[in-house]
Structure 1
Amino acid sequence: MGVEVGQAGRRERKKAATRALILRAAQELFLERGFDAVSVREIADRADVSPTTVFAHFPQKEALLFFEEVEQRERLVAAVRDRPAGSSISEALKAHYRAEFVAMWSGPDGALRRRIMALMEATPALQDYASRMWTRHEDALAAAITEELGRPEPSDEIRIYARFALQIQLLVTSADDPMLDAGFRLLDQGWSRYHPGPAGVSSGAGQAQDG
């Protein structure tokens, strides 16, 4: 039993090391020459693996720059599901976004991440992949909120809330950016606070908040 566990551990370490080599090779090549100018075979050659091995770890070339997609989605859902008692969904998401920014930009890889973000913003194929990724995050967030509110399926309000809550993160540039508070304040309190409708009637259709 102990031998089998040890062998499994070695296999996992070897897989992790191979994955790290592929990621480093891909990042180096993409930053040197641009995303579109680099082939998967070139990445494989630099990492000293086969193209088949690259695809075994990353289903498509774009995934080499969005390798944390699943983990990001899991952390997003956990922020809602595991929030402190008495904390609203918006408060939990704000705290999660701030923590993500601190971890992403203030760590030792902050400069590298900024270069990769600039590459993503300049590459249409990566922008398209990111758009699809955020749609997947939106579905996961809406499902988590629906479960938290004890509803059988997401309402229109929940879907709208999930979409715009994620968009807030895309507008914010740092952990202390006032846009973060402003975005959730608008979601929670509605536009009518700033621009009431005729005769003061609010046009809000409801909130996805749980208080």
Structure 2
Amino acid sequence: MTLRERKKLRTRAAISEAAISLFIEHGFDQVSITQVAEAADVSRRTLFAYFPTKEDLVVHRFADHEDEPARVVRARPAGQSPLTALREHYLDALHAQDPMTGLTDVPEVLHLYDLLRSTPQLMARMLQFNETSETQLAAALHETADTAELPARLAAAQIVSVQWTLSIANYDRALAGARADDAYPAAAAAANQAFDLLAGGLGGLWPSTPLP
């Protein structure tokens, strides 16, 4: 990575950190783009070069996870069903207390989640995030698991929705005061139940590979 690229990454991170800190302290609607730019010591023009919309200042934190289900399906071992790969990946993430599962004690992550849940504009963007995740997962299912386009789309919609629902439930428990270690057994049981239900409905799409 060049010096210029490293500088751009530092600037992007500084802008986002300044924005999220202000949003958490004062509220998303109460903070202007000008205030964010001033806090990050950049111009409005520079800010918009990195983040085209105000919502992007927050939602970009999840960008690396947008294509995660699709990557898991594409990278699965030969002979493993997509649903098994996704199930194992989610359970591994739970065990590691990955913030995207909602099972976390990190205050900054919980503050960010609370900001999302309390801001309609940000929740709307997260729905777009999930739609993109569904589209990419459907493509991966179609291309690597010999799944017809419509069943792939329907399966992807169910899988992404289930994972989102599980994570939301875990975040809600964390905000209610549950410690991640204490909440883990219930979170893992819920995840297994959810994937069992998915297997009951989607198992016929990949009959050559046994599902749990």
TM-score (norm. length: structure 2): 0.79
- 1:170 aligns with 164
1:111 to 103, 107, 110: 107
Separation (CA, whole Å) in 2 of partners of 1:166 and 1:188:
14
1:100 CA drift (Å): 4.1
Provide closer, same or farther for how the CA distance between residues 126 and 207 of structure 1 changes in structure 2, counting only shifts above 3 A: farther
Q: Name the aligned partner's letter for residue 27 of structure 1.
A: I
Q: How many residues align?
A: 187
Separation in structure 2 between the aligned mates of residue 67 and residue 175 of structure 1, nearest angstrom = 27
Q: Hey, what's the Cα distance between the residues in 2 that align with 1:59 and 1:209?
A: 41
- Contact 1:142–1:162 (CA<8 Å) still a contact in 2? yes
Conserved 8 A contact 1:77-1:140: yes
Residue number in structure 1 paired with 2:199: 188
**Are residues 159 and 54 of structure 1, via their aligned partners in 2, closer, same or farther at CA, if it must alter by over 3 Å?**
same
The offset of 1:175, in angstroms, is: 5.9
- In the TM superposition, 1:33-182 aligns within 5 A as 33-101=26-94, 102-104=97-99, 110-150=106-146, 154-155=149-150, 157-172=151-166, 173=170, 176=185, 177=187, 178-182=189-193
| Whole-Å separation in 2 of the counterparts to 1:175 and 1:130 | 25
Structure 1 runs of 4+ with >3 Å offset = 98-101, 206-210
Shift of 1:114: 0.9
- Counterpart residue number, 1:201: none
Question: Is the Cα contact below 8 Å between 1:97 and 1:175 reproduced in 2?
Answer: no
Question: What is the percent sequence identity of the aligned residues?
Answer: 33
Match of 1:208 in 2: 205
Answer yes or no: is the 8 Å Cα contact 1:121–1:127 preserved in 2. Answer: yes
Whole-Å Cα distance in 1 between the matches of residues 103 and 138 of structure 2?
A: 29
CA radius of gyration, larger in: 1
Task: Give unpaired runs (5+ residues) of structure 2.
Answer: 171-182
Structure number with higher helix proportion: 2
TM-score (norm 1): 0.79
CA contact (8 A) 1:98 1:175 kept: no
**5+ residue gaps, structure 1:** 1-7, 191-203
Q: Which has the higher contact order (CA 8 A, sep 6+)?
A: 2
Deviation at 1:147, TM superposition (A): 0.5
- Which amino acid counterpart does residue 121 of structure 1 have in structure 2? R
Quote how far apart the aligned CAs of 1:86 are. Answer: 3.2
Match of 1:14 in 2: 7
Distance in 2 between residues matched to 1:100 and 1:122, nearest whole Å? 25
